[in-house]
Structure 1
Amino acid sequence: MSLVNLDIELLRTFVAIVERESFAAAADAVHRTQSAVTQQMQRLETQIDKPLFRKQGREKRLTEDGLKLLEYSRRLLALNDEACSAISGSTLTGEVRLGAPVDVADSMLPNLLQRFSKMFPSLRMTIDVGRSPFLMEAMKRGEIDMAISPREHPEFRRITLRTSPAVWICAADYRYDRTEPLDLIIADEPSLFRRTALDHLERAGIAWRITYVAPTLPGIRAAVRAGLGVTARSVEMMSPDFRVLGELDGLPRLPDVTYNLYLGAAPNLAARRLFDSLEAVRM
């Protein structure tokens, strides 16, 4: 296929169809009739000489080529809009509501906020620090626009921020007696790290007992610092007065934890443009 110049207007309509999950909803978003949107997609398919959609029952799903084009379309649109803003002297304004778990508030969050500020200095950020499951629920309800989470949520667009080792953490002077059940410090439900710890101990056949349950990370830190037991967390929780127990101590290896930045299903315009710009430059 010879190289062609993709039409930005057609790509914008294409992305709108995917994000709003119908041609009719996309037509409202781009201020066109549904028949005009259909014609635009026919033109785009002609340009790339590939079908973008396939029928599945009464619905239309993206083909493999459609999925490939979607990724590039979002990046091209973000770069196009950023270039237009820079040339015109306009800037992204408004408020973006971001949720972040306590685990990353002191580690990756400052760098992320710094990046936001450099890209769009007039943007106002509202930060909600809390537990990941509750932040994701808040994003689903539209109370926040974006959230950082180590959980898998394939229904939302995401950018991977960091993959960190998960480890067994205890106080520096804590002594683990392998002849006794492991003293566990865990969060109450729902908790990814709680489930990970219990699953891996069960698989390894290691006896355990819960000595402390906390609803927040500061509570878990306090219990670990007091020498009440061991907890499973990502390395972001480490501090000079903690140490790591590993396979040499008889504990199973834990899987790495991937932190993703998720975009809600109905974010405001500022949040959408910010996310698109971040995605375009591949943080």
Structure 2
Amino acid sequence: MPRIANLDITLLRAFITVVETGSFTKAAALLGRTQPAVSLQIRRLEGLLRAPLIDRAGNGAGLTVEGAGLLPQARRLLRLNDEIVASLGEGDLEGEVRFGAPEDIATLHLPSILGAFARSHPRITLAVTADYTANLLDQLSRGQLDLALIKREPVGPELGVRVWREPLVWVALDVAVLEASPLPLIIAPAPDIYRKRALAALQEADIPFRAAFTSPSLAGQMAALRAGLGVGILPGAMAPRDLVVIGDPLPVLADSEIALVTARGAAEGPAGLLAHEVLRALERGPAVS
């Protein structure tokens, strides 16, 4: 008789998490396990399938040909497993997930993801908070959030699982605003990371500036930009066509980095399930680095 192997969903979940996070260490943090435990799970899966899935040569880990072929199939199996469990109302797929994100991310990226999650898991209640990264991290530390997308410096300390890097651009209604001195800025109040990025870049470039319009609301900043009140910073993907992206003589802005942070003890259950859905929906390619 041909050999029949029964795939373990737990092993497939570990494999997918390693791929989505880009490392065994980050996958372990998200899964609430140790790095050696996750590595052992991948070894077990490779033994079960009799094929190498992760190329561990070099400084990082990359998908083998067999691993790349398994990835889409593993995702389908995992999605089907989660849908079956959700439809039967079993396991930990009931409860509340308290999720936070900065306003621009919540506005641009999350509605469709959260809507699909809510429809697929009607027994899970979502409570979403839009706030600055510093405030979201404070709420995570206080146990007020289970999960959050945050903005962080790419060269900063490791914090959460990197989801993608966000190019930032200067925008205004018209380039004529550059004739004003000091340069009028449309910014959010502290501790917004884009505000910090703008002020540091202008100071380093020795360009005088003033705060012409300060608002914690993205809608308020957009209204001020469209009124021609000054120059602001937006993620490149959010720059609308009715505003001008300005390069020289303004300084080049380094990318921001978006990361997913899970509260201690929230890696499993509804919060862990939502974390995997967010990573799958927002990932920037399947490569492992």
Match of 2:269 in 1: 269
SS in 2 for 1:138: helix
Q: Deviations over 1:168-216 (max 9, x none)?
A: 11124853217x3311222221121111112212222322223233333
Kept after mapping to 1: 8 A contact 2:174/2:244: yes
Whether the aligned pair in 2 keeps the contact of 1:104 and 1:236 (CA below 8 Å) is no
- Looking at structure 2, the residues matched to 146 and 276 of structure 1 have their Cα atoms a distance apart, in angstroms, of 11
In the superposition, relative to structure 1, how do residues 82 and 6 fare at CA in structure 2: closer, same or farther (>3 Å)?
closer
Q: Sort the Cα spacing of 1:133 and 1:237 in 2 relative to 1 into closer, same or farther, 3 A.
A: farther
> Is residue 251 of structure 1 aligned with residue 255 of structure 2?
no
Partner of residue 173, structure 2: 171
Q: Give the Å deviation of 1:222.
A: 3.2
Give secondary structure in 2 for the equivalent of 1:196: helix
CA distance in structure 1 between the partners assigned to 2:182 and 2:227 by the alignment: 18
The 8 Å contact of residues 83 and 120 in structure 2, kept in 1 or not, is answered as no
Residues 181-260 of structure 1 mapped to structure 2, 5 A cutoff: 181-247=182-248, 250-260=249-259
User: Which residue does the alignment assign to 1:154?
Assistant: 158
Q: Structure 1 counterpart of 2:158, which letter?
A: P
What displacement does 1:115 show?
A: 4.2
Asked if the contact 2:159/2:259 (under 8 Å) is kept, the reply is no
Say whether the 8 Å CA contact 1:97–1:146 is kept in structure 2: yes
| Contact 2:97/2:270, CA 8 A, preserved across alignment | yes
* SS of 1:205 mapped into structure 2: coil
CA distance in 2, matches of 1:276, 1:174: 45
The CA RMSD over aligned residues, in Å, is 4.5
Give the Cα separation in 2 of the matches to 1:101 and 1:278.
15
Which residue identity does 1:83 align to in structure 2?
N
Cα distance in 1, alignment partners of residues 197 and 240 from structure 2: 22
| TM-score normalized with structure 1 length | 0.63
Gaps of 5+ in 2: 14-26, 46-56, 62-66, 284-289
Residue pairs, 1:34-183, within 5 angstroms: 83=81, 86=84, 90-91=88-89, 92-117=93-118, 119-152=120-153, 154-156=158-160, 158=161, 160=163, 162-172=164-174, 175-177=177-179, 180-183=181-184
1:219 Cα offset (Å): 3.2
Q: What do residues 213-246 of structure 1 show as CA deviations (whole Å, max 9, x unaligned)?
A: 3333333233323322111221354334422211
Aligned identity (percent) is: 31
- Quick check: which has more Rg, 1 or 2? 1
Distance verdict in 2 for CA 1:221–1:146, change over 3 Å:
same
Q: How many residues align?
A: 240
> Given the superposition, is the C-alpha separation of residues 270 and 171 from structure 1 closer, same or farther in structure 2, using an over 3 Å criterion?
same
Contact 1:174 1:229 in 2 (8 A): no
